[in-house]
Amino acid sequence: MLYRSALNRAIDECMGADESVVILGEDVGRYGGSYRVSEGLISKYGEKRVIDTPIAELSIVGNAIGMAIAGLRPIAEIMTVNFSLLAMDQIINHAAKLRYMSGGKMTIPMVVRMPGGVSRQLAAQHSESYETLYSSVPGLIVLTASNATYAYHGLKWAIKSNDPVIFLEHELLYPMDMEFKEIQDFDPFRAEIVKEGRDLTILTYLKMRYDVIEAQKELKKFGIDAEIIDLNSLRPLDIETIAKSIKKTKKCVIVEEDHKTGGMGAEVVAQIMEECFYDLDAPVLRIAGEDVPIPYNRKLELASIPTPDKIVDKILKWKAENGI
């Protein structure tokens, strides 16, 4: 199933089952969505529930919060996370805090969906991965969908959830055809063990999952049997699954596409330090994006983020340096 079709199916089923579910955003209606996620929904549910908005991100999220307060279940689509910066006040000062500030009286059943990451040469204002801007905020649930199965189940869960969910997608995944599994007892907060292994735990999420899988094939040739874990949920973080794996492998690497300083890996490493420091044979290795805005030139763009080759090289070097 196409990744984007999995998302579409989740929205479609929720809109079909519950009249209070609406979707709003730029080009989501007649155009069918920039990445075709909302394709066909307007003809099925009409323009009152599939809402084409002006270019006004702050209002898209703000309006969604208001709709949620009034009893709807809005899905706000922000074209990319880069533009969500314009909506951050509504997301952080409002969506994340209303329930707490009101002593638990307010309920905000809202999803903000958006893709991020490096696509292909879209340059600095269109290529960011801002997950830690949201995963550092109390009051938000932050999920990432790296695959069709999680995209479908995770988004369905998010739409039904009574709390605000930031649902992160990746621009390069939309057209990818992926294996799809129906899951009965789906838990959005569980990390997925993508591949079991004995020697090394590699944590990752979103599009880097595929780069890690590529890298692991190469590592195998060096006799390294890596366990790959997809975090899925960034807040809350499934530290239990992570700690269990580290207990077994004694070594941990995190591969992320966002900037290294203050990136997702920083928080993951901090939690590992607290939970399983004594299980580690070596310092955790962070393989992340460089601390620069993403450049347009393809060679520089690729140099700014992890790639399978770089992942392999860095792991081999790290192993040699630490004698592990």
Ligand X SMILES: Cc1ncc(C[n+]2csc(CCOP(=O)(O)OP(=O)(O)O)c2C)c(N)n1
- Considering only the stretches 78-86, 98-106, 200-208, 285-293, report the one whose residues sit in contact with ligand X under the rule CB under 6 A: 78-86
Between CA 227 and CA 237 the distance in angstroms is 18
Examine the residue annotation and report whether 126 is marked as an active-site residue of this protein. Answer: yes
30 binds another protein (CB under 8 A): yes
Give the x/- contact pattern for ligand X in 33-62, rule: CB under 6 A. ----------------------x-x-----
86 binds ligand X (CB under 6 A): yes
Q: Residue 196's closest CA among 226, 239, 241, 240?
A: 226
Q: Residue 117's closest CA among 38, 210, 208, 25?
A: 208
Size of the site for another protein (CB under 8 A): 34
Among 69, 88, 106, 122, binds another protein (CB under 8 A): 122
Angle between helices 239-249 and 264-276 (to 10 degrees): 70
Single out the catalytic residue among 26, 57, 257, 267: 57
26 binds ligand X (CB under 6 A): yes
Among 124, 183, 270, 324, binds another protein (CB under 8 A): 124
Q: Give DSSP secondary structure letters for 73-140.
A: EEEEEPS-HHHHGGGHIIIIIIITTHHHHTTT------EEEEEES--SS--GGG----HHHHHTSTT-
Q: How far is the CB of 114 from ligand X (least distance, A)?
A: 11
79 binds ligand X (CB under 6 A): yes
Among 36, 69, 83, 310, binds ligand X (CB under 6 A): 83
**Complex with ligand X: residue 38 or 245, whichever CB lies closer:** 38
Tokens, residue 92: 């952080």
Element (H, E) at 272: helix 264-276
Q: Residue 25's closest CA among 5, 52, 62?
A: 52
Between CA 244 and CA 260 the distance in angstroms is 25
Specify the residue for token string 């004698």.
323
Give the x/- contact pattern for ligand X in 57-76, rule: CB under 6 A. x-------------------
Between CA 166 and CA 188 the distance in angstroms is 12
Among 13, 20, 39, 58, binds another protein (CB under 8 A): 58
**Complex with another protein: residue 45 or 152, whichever CB lies closer:** 45
123 binds ligand X (CB under 6 A): no
Examine the residue annotation and report whether 182 is marked as an active-site residue of this protein. Answer: no
Which residues form the interface with ligand X (CB under 6 A)? Answer: 26, 55, 57, 79, 83, 86
Positions marked active-site: 57, 126
